[in-house]
Structure 1
Amino acid sequence: MLTIHGVTRSRASRIIWLCHELGLPFRQVPVIQAYRLSDPDAPGAPLNTRSASFLKLSPAGAIPVIEDGDLVLSESLACTLYLARKHGLPFGPADATEDALMLQWSFYAATAIEQDALTILFMHRAGQVQSGADQASVANASERLIRPLAVLEEQISRHGHLVGGRFTVADINVAEVVRYAQSHHALMDQFPAVRSWLADCQARPAFQKMWQERLAEPE
């Protein structure tokens, strides 16, 4: 059975969402991020990314990590793309062209969107007073996101999805990155196709199942 190391409140959410789409059973080992603990090295501390047993599995000390038979694989996008390719249609590629496009969109999200979207996630709180520095950081991140979100807007407006005209692992990977910025309504309202696509992705039963599991975990 597939094993996923990492709490759902992490990038493991991408893998868990895909597994629910596939109907793929898995065992989850709830490794928590060390930075979330006051003393991750204390005796009796929860299993975390600095725990010796986890570092044997992942010398980088980062979640998620999956084990699938003899394969130990880190990096969430590598994990989702591997599982989608292994299990095939409809979420995986039909051919080499689709495989390349799924790689393209996943890497585009990671390199062109994620960093600035995370800035918004951590610093933008609708209805809360922000420091001037935080406001400036959010404004700058939002400005940098206009171009990559416009690229997504064009693709989704024309094709409905990112690859093959259907919901695939590429949608999961990109949606989980764009999610970080979705609370910034002034930004997202500029991209109605992206906003609608993201809502449709998050309305899927597999996402909702993952999200409820995520909410059930301690913050």
Structure 2
Amino acid sequence: MTLTIYGCYRSRATRNVWLANELGLAFVHVPVIQAYRLPDPSAPDAPLHTRSPDFLKVNPNGHIPSIDDDGFKLHESLAINFYLARKHGGPLAPADAQEEGLAVMWSLWAATECETHALNIQYHMAAYPPEKRKPELAEAALAALPAPFAVLDGVLAQGGGFVMGGRFTVADINVAEIIRYARPATALFEAAPHVKAWLEACHARPAFKAMWQARDAEAA
């Protein structure tokens, strides 16, 4: 039985690697870079990328991450995490139908309510060079995120520091990997102390640290 994770660490593949680490899963990592990051994706010496014919055989959509679990191919990082958690069970997986509903709800909530704004903060406040930043996108994100951060702060306060189930689960991984994009906006976290403490606790986990170490070792 072989699990293969396709994608680079500077992508949403980090969600899947983090969970695989938490579950203690052995896996093969196949680096696949986004085609838009390459000066010439069609160059003969271009690395494996999202428009490479070999990768399109894995995921015809041309996006990362994807997995191949002993012949079973699956795409979309959140779906991959729910699949791995259900297959391998344990405390990280939803314990029943209600928990599964909550895990899916909070994961999709983070993706729809927070992710675009959080990415705009990451890119337009920190990651992009100053000449590429669009301050209006960062300002719009800073105006939009306090409300969902307050919602998450309340949930974490009531849930003992976890998104659902009173314990660390796949839902925490899925949500944390979105919320971390907003870290350059420190004021957001100061105004939501439970979110700040929760994200710090998530990032202190050995499985996250192992993933992040691999990410740091990857070429930018």
Q: TM-score, normalised by structure 1?
A: 0.95
In the alignment, the residues of structure 1 paired with residue 41 and residue 18 of structure 2 have an alpha-carbon distance, to the nearest angstrom, of 28
Question: What does 1:32-181 correspond to in 2, within 5 Å?
Answer: 32-125=33-126, 134-159=134-159, 160-181=161-182
Give the share of equivalent positions with the same residue, in percent: 53
Query: Is 1:14 equivalent to 2:15 in the alignment?
Result: yes
Structure 2 residue aligned with 1:193? 194
Q: Which amino acid aligns with 1:61?
A: G
The structural deviation recorded for 1:158 is: 1.2
Spell out, residue by residue over 1:147-166, the C-alpha distance to the aligned partner (whole angstroms, 9 max, x if none).
11111000001111011100
**Structure 1 portions without partners, runs of 5+:** none
SS at match of 1:124: helix
In the alignment, the residues of structure 2 paired with residue 116 and residue 26 of structure 1 have an alpha-carbon distance, to the nearest angstrom, of 32
Q: Which amino acid aligns with 2:217?
A: A
Q: Which amino acid aligns with 1:36?
A: R
Q: In the comparison of the two structures, how many residue pairs are matched?
A: 218
**Structure 2 portions without partners, runs of 5+:** none
Spell out, residue by residue over 1:81-112, the C-alpha distance to the aligned partner (whole angstroms, 9 max, x if none).
11011111210011111111110011001111
In the alignment, the residues of structure 2 paired with residue 106 and residue 179 of structure 1 have an alpha-carbon distance, to the nearest angstrom, of 14
Q: Is the 8 A contact 2:203 2:209 kept in 1?
A: yes
Spell out, residue by residue over 1:43-91, the C-alpha distance to the aligned partner (whole angstroms, 9 max, x if none).
0210000101111211110000001123110000000011011111210
CA RMSD of superposed structures (Å): 1.7
Q: Is the 8 A contact 2:156 2:162 kept in 1?
A: yes
The structural deviation recorded for 1:134 is: 2.4
The structural deviation recorded for 1:143 is: 1.0
